[in-house]
Chain A
Amino acid sequence: MHPVSSDAGRLSSAQRRPSSAAVLSQAASGVVVVVAGAVLVGWALDVASLKGVLPGLVTMKPNTALAFVLSGVSVWLSSGGGPGRTRTAQRRIALACAVVVAVIGLLTLVEYLTGLDLGIDQRLYAESPGAVGTFAPGRMAPTTALNFLMIGLALVLLDARVPRELVALLVLGTGAIGLLSLVGYVYGVTALYGLASYTQMALNTAVMFIVLGVGVISARPDREPIAALFSGTVGGAVLRRLLPAAIGIPLVLGWLVLSGYRAGLYDAVFGLTFFALADIVILAVIIWWHATALHRADAARRSAEDAARNLNVELERRAVELEAANRELEAFSYSVSHDLWAPLRAIQGFSRVLVEDHAARLDAEGHRVLGIVTENTRKMGVLIDDLLGFSRISRQQVEPTTIDMTRLAQTVVAECRQLEPDRDVTVTIDPLPVARGDLPMIRQALTNLVSNAFKFTRPRPDARIEIGGEAGPTETVYLVRDNGVGFDPRHSDQLFKVFQRLHGSTEFEGTGIGLAIVARVAHRHGGRVWADGREGEGATFAFALPHEEGTGDA
């Protein structure tokens, strides 16, 4: 797994994108490969200016250049993304290069420690004896060898299960020795880039180690203790802004002061005092400046946090309000339904009494009008009944159990058949996946769908109903398909709303609550419903229940 490409997607925009670290890493390794490659060309064609930076300075040895090219390739491959298979191949090549680098460093160190000549120094290109700052012809400096051993190990262990600080320490060690040598060149202190009479580290070698260290560090920007450097946190900002200043300013200042001293402009005491004061002032100003910027950023962040917290409080308050409103509404619909019932029964009952006891005094028109009263009372009763059912589905607690859906479907179909025993309806029930849900609710939903299918296939002499189901990766779908009168798909979003009907009540009886109940049941299980159909060509109604226990709506 490659952290750079895989993490980029889920990081917030507030954080520094790790991809910039990958770009840095690739740029650094590219520079190393190009520069070291040029040195190798210099050795091949014997061009002195390519081997060393200035005449009179020690050259970068062929083995050093080779080790740099291999290190650069290793870093470049380690930081580059790519599809899975190529990435594995890349990782293998990167490891192989790293091992070779470490071995070159190790063998050279062995040569220094034992005094043996293993014959590796002149293997690529020969160097004439007596070259500047060179202990044995073609042999790299001991510090360079140590650095290659460390950076090679760091690259081998880059993704290994070792303490992360170990890799960081190896890289920082390499960079520190490179920096030390660079400082030696800048300040003209030979002891810093050459030990005793041993071969010195070349100037370009020192610079390359620093560049390489940056490349390795930014190849894995998400690892502690490097992560802070690339993070969007205040700590990251402090590191990025102050670390270069802390290293660069004393370095440059020291060089300036030293140059003045060597030119005889002032004595050592003055120089040192000036250095200390200038260092203090410049660093203090820079720290102050950055701290002010960070302070502003932090203040802005805090006020944003406060705003978010207030918003949260407000949201919570709204949620509580909504819940209370919902409860009130439910209590309202419950009691309305109940209290509407008794007077309705009275209207109907006493209309009946009128017919039974006082029929003689009513003429034909009186009977007709009374019939309308009775019929509408009946309809009102059905409406209240449905409203109560819907309200109950909304209020009841979902108590999930495992439901044998095939058996449930068989039961429901048998019930529907019983209501219309004279009809010949072909029903096929596929083996259905088991459901996890509230049995009474699921049963109600399935009953509504199946009874709808029975109802809307009534005009068909060859009525067919299919009940199917399929367990998907995240949810299980159940569907009821019929070859009934269907519906215009343009209105499919209307179907699941309370009291919405697509057919006149003279065509098909019903109040329009059945599908609303199906939708409510599905939603309370955290699932969903949908319908598919065509006018005159049948319809399919489906509901899906999520696999994990859905929270559902309130």
Chain B
Amino acid sequence: MPDDEVEILLVEDNPADVELTLRALTKHNLANKVLVVGDGAEALDYLFATGSYAGRAMHEAPRVVFLDLKLPKVGGLEVLQRVKSDERTKRIPVVILTSSNEERDIVMSYELGGNSYVVKPVDFERFSEAIQELGLYWLVVNRPPV
């Protein structure tokens, strides 16, 4: 996948959620700029241009990262912490997209510098709407630093 086209980095291990998320994004023609990674380690590799993504131009960061919290290998909160504590990546907006409605997860995410916290609605209609709104907001409405 060409690096420079990635606008959304979707970090999600559940294939069903991936498919439903992509489906929701497709409706607004946002899905062709999504890179999906299945665990936290791969997400970090991509963001820091290491491992299998070594050689990627780091300055071309995604417009937004959708990050699940419950992930194999490296958990979502650790990914968030690594991204937000590094000068090179801390300006990348990270949206936590998770099933967890736990207060401590929410508080922790904001403490670590997460830009938004969205609980995946259980209802597909609402889930779909939420994904579309998120995509539109972060890719169209929101203005990132240059």
Task: Write the residues of chain A forming the contact surface with B, with a CB cutoff of 8 angstroms.
Answer: 334, 338, 341-346, 348-353, 378, 381, 384-385, 388, 392, 396, 440
| Chain A nearest Cβ from B110, distance in angstroms | 17
B86 in contact (CB, < 8 A): no
B70 in contact (CB, < 8 A): yes
A353 to B22, CA, bound (A): 12
Residues in B neighbouring A388, C-beta threshold 8 A: 101
Known: A352-B124, A385-B122. 16 other contacts (CB 8 A): A338-B70, A338-B100, A341-B122, A342-B14, A342-B99, A343-B16, A344-B122, A345-B120, A348-B122, A349-B16, A349-B127, A350-B20, A352-B125, A353-B23, A392-B102, A396-B103
B17 in contact (CB, < 8 A): yes
B111 in contact (CB, < 8 A): no
Q: Does B127 contact A384, Cβ atoms closer than 8 Å?
A: no
Interface of A: prevailing SS: helix
Q: Provide a sorted-by-A list of 25 A–B residue pairs whose CB atoms are within 8 angstroms.
A: A338-B70, A341-B99, A341-B120, A342-B14, A342-B16, A342-B17, A343-B16, A345-B16, A345-B17, A345-B122, A345-B124, A345-B127, A346-B14, A346-B16, A348-B122, A348-B123, A349-B16, A349-B128, A351-B124, A352-B124, A352-B125, A352-B128, A381-B123, A388-B101, A440-B103
Q: Does A346 contact B20, Cβ atoms closer than 8 Å?
A: yes
Residues in B neighbouring A384, C-beta threshold 8 A: 122
Task: Write the residues of chain B forming the contact surface with A, with a CB cutoff of 8 angstroms.
Answer: 14, 16-17, 20, 23, 70, 99-103, 120, 122-125, 127-128
Q: Does B122 contact A381, Cβ atoms closer than 8 Å?
A: yes
A182 to B70, CA, bound (A): 95
Residues in B neighbouring A338, C-beta threshold 8 A: 70, 99-100
Q: Does A349 contact B101, Cβ atoms closer than 8 Å?
A: no
| Chain A nearest Cβ from B101, distance in angstroms | 6
| Chain B nearest Cβ from A357, distance in angstroms | 10
Q: Does A348 contact B16, Cβ atoms closer than 8 Å?
A: no
A346 to B120, CA, bound (A): 12
| Chain B nearest Cβ from A110, distance in angstroms | 86
| Chain B nearest Cβ from A356, distance in angstroms | 9
- A382 nearest in chain B by CB position: B122
Listed residue (B103, B122, B127) with the most chain A CB atoms within 10 angstroms of its CB: B122
A334 to B101, CA, bound (A): 10
Residues in B neighbouring A440, C-beta threshold 8 A: 103
- A348 nearest in chain B by CB position: B124
Q: Does A345 contact B100, Cβ atoms closer than 8 Å?
A: no
- A352 nearest in chain B by CB position: B124
Q: Does B122 contact A350, Cβ atoms closer than 8 Å?
A: no
- B13 nearest in chain A by CB position: A342
A338 to B14, CA, bound (A): 13
A385 to B16, CA, bound (A): 20
Q: Does A345 contact B70, Cβ atoms closer than 8 Å?
A: no
| Chain B nearest Cβ from A26, distance in angstroms | 67
Residues in B neighbouring A353, C-beta threshold 8 A: 23
| Chain A nearest Cβ from B140, distance in angstroms | 24
- B15 nearest in chain A by CB position: A346
- A335 nearest in chain B by CB position: B70
A352 to B19, CA, bound (A): 13
Nearest first, the 7 closest Cβ-Cβ pairs linking A and B are A346-B16, A381-B122, A349-B124, A349-B20, A348-B124, A341-B99, A352-B124
- A344 nearest in chain B by CB position: B122
Residues in A neighbouring B125, C-beta threshold 8 A: 352
Q: Does B123 contact A378, Cβ atoms closer than 8 Å?
A: yes
A353 to B16, CA, bound (A): 12
Residues in B neighbouring A381, C-beta threshold 8 A: 122-123
- A357 nearest in chain B by CB position: B23
